[in-house]
Structure 1
Amino acid sequence: MLKVYGFSRVNEFARGNTRDLRVLWALEEMGLPYEIVGMDHPNHALDSDEFRAKNPFGQIPVIDDDGVVVTESGAILLYLARKSGKLMPHDLAGEAQVLRWTIAALSTIEVPVLALWFVDMTGGKGTEPHEALHQWSDMRLEQLDGWLAHRTFIATDEFTVADILMTHVLSARSTDPSLLKPYQHVRTYQTRCMDRPAWKRTFDAYCERVETA
């Protein structure tokens, strides 16, 4: 059976905000069977030789699908979409759009907002790097807002793995909610995706299972 290496115990700030949620949400949407291998982050479970053999970076999520080991949330979701035939168009043109927006979520959008969060968290708020990153983030979110003005989902007319990734990036604690306030279409899109029953089931099960250090 497919194994998902996900958190069983995390620091308080990270609970409800970890990237294994992206994989668990996708699996819930797809209806694929899986088992969770719980990892205790505060007790350094990710530093073990066994885990580092699967992911040398010591990061979650990781899946092991009967010996096929995949890391990185974007790569995992694309793999699962191909495996299940769900949350991914079956035509090449449609698949290209999902690939396009998967990469955009994890690079064009996540990179500036995550960098801004890191600078602010380390005492850089109000500095020139903060202002530069804020302007970069605003520019990308304004462009994204324009793209979503007349679209229900990000890549195609149907919900895909690209929507899971984009939504999780937008809703992460590393994305300052005040950044999204000017962008109505982004906020409406985010709400639409997070209102899906599969996300709510995923998040509720995660909160019941994952302990806080």
Structure 2
Amino acid sequence: MVKVYGFSRVNEFAHGNTRDLRVLWALEEIGLPYEVVGIDHPRRDLDSDEYRAKNVFGQIPAIDDDGVVVTESGAILLYLARKSGKLVPRDLAGEAQVLRWSFAALSTIEVPLLTSWFVDINDGKGTKPSDALKSWARMRLEQLDGWLANRTFIATDDFTVADILMTHVLSARSTDQDLLKPYQHVRAYQTRCMDRPAWKRTVDAYRERVEAV
């Protein structure tokens, strides 16, 4: 059974927004049995020697699949897809598109959005760095909007792990949702993916299990 190291207690701002949700969503979509190993963030469980042996960076998420330890949410999702044969095409060309868009979600899209948030909370909105980062983010979102104009999902005709990663990046609390407003195809895509029953099950279970402090 897959062990998922995910939060049991987390600060209020991050509650419902942590990256273990990406893994839990994938497992719900795939239907693999799993158990959650609760990590108490305020108690500094991430800094324990036991956890650092699994993830040297002391970050969530991590999984242990009968001795196969994988960290980094993108790597975990791709591993689970390959293991199960679900959420990824079986042909090389189709898999390449899922890899392409998984990396795009975590680098091309997430980097300007997340960096913009960090700058805003530290230096304030309206500063030159903030404005420059928002301009970068808008450029990427406009390009993404064009890509999604005639597509249901991001990488293939079917829902894949790339959609989980992209949707979670777009919906993150660290993503300024005002930036998304001009991009109707991005917003429709986000809604479409978050309406999936597996995501709703994941969120409901998370909120029941994880304490916000």
Aligned-CA RMSD value: 0.4
1:19-65 Cα shifts (integer Å, max 9, x gaps)? 00000000000000011000000110000000000001000000000
Amino acid at match of 1:210: V
Aligned to 2:181: 181
Amino acid at match of 2:178: S
Aligned to 1:28: 28
How far the C-alpha of 1:123 sits from its partner, in A, is: 2.7
Aligned to 2:42: 42
- Is the aligned partner of 1:16 residue 2:16? yes
Query: What is the CA–CA distance in structure 2 between the aligned matches of 1:127 and 1:177, rounded to whole Å?
Result: 19
Aligned to 1:211: 211
Query: What is the CA–CA distance in structure 1 between the aligned matches of 2:112 and 2:93, rounded to whole Å?
Result: 28
1:92-124 Cα shifts (integer Å, max 9, x gaps)? 000000000000000000000000000001133
Query: What is the CA–CA distance in structure 1 between the aligned matches of 2:173 and 2:3, rounded to whole Å?
Result: 26
Aligned to 1:114: 114
Q: What TM-score results when the alignment is normalised by the length of structure 2?
A: 0.99
Query: What is the CA–CA distance in structure 2 between the aligned matches of 1:173 and 1:44, rounded to whole Å?
Result: 22
Aligned to 2:201: 201
Aligned to 1:146: 146
Amino acid at match of 2:43: N
How far the C-alpha of 1:184 sits from its partner, in A, is: 0.0
How far the C-alpha of 1:2 sits from its partner, in A, is: 1.1
Amino acid at match of 2:30: M
Note the residue ranges of structure 2 that are not aligned, 5 or more in a row. Answer: none
Poorly superposed stretches of 4+, deviation over 3 Å: none
Aligned to 1:130: 130
Amino acid at match of 2:32: L
Aligned to 1:59, the other structure's residue is in SS state coil
- Counterparts of 1:33-112 in structure 2, within 5 Å, are 33-112=33-112
Q: What TM-score results when the alignment is normalised by the length of structure 1?
A: 0.99
Aligned to 1:156, the other structure's residue is in SS state coil
Aligned to 1:54, the other structure's residue is in SS state coil
Amino acid at match of 2:159: F
Note the residue ranges of structure 1 that are not aligned, 5 or more in a row. Answer: none
Amino acid at match of 1:53: A
Query: What is the CA–CA distance in structure 2 between the aligned matches of 1:104 and 1:69, rounded to whole Å?
Result: 24
Count residues in correspondence.
213
Amino acid at match of 1:39: I
How far the C-alpha of 1:164 sits from its partner, in A, is: 0.2
Query: What is the CA–CA distance in structure 1 between the aligned matches of 2:185 and 2:71, rounded to whole Å?
Result: 31
Identity rate, percent: 83
Aligned to 2:147, the other structure's residue is in SS state helix
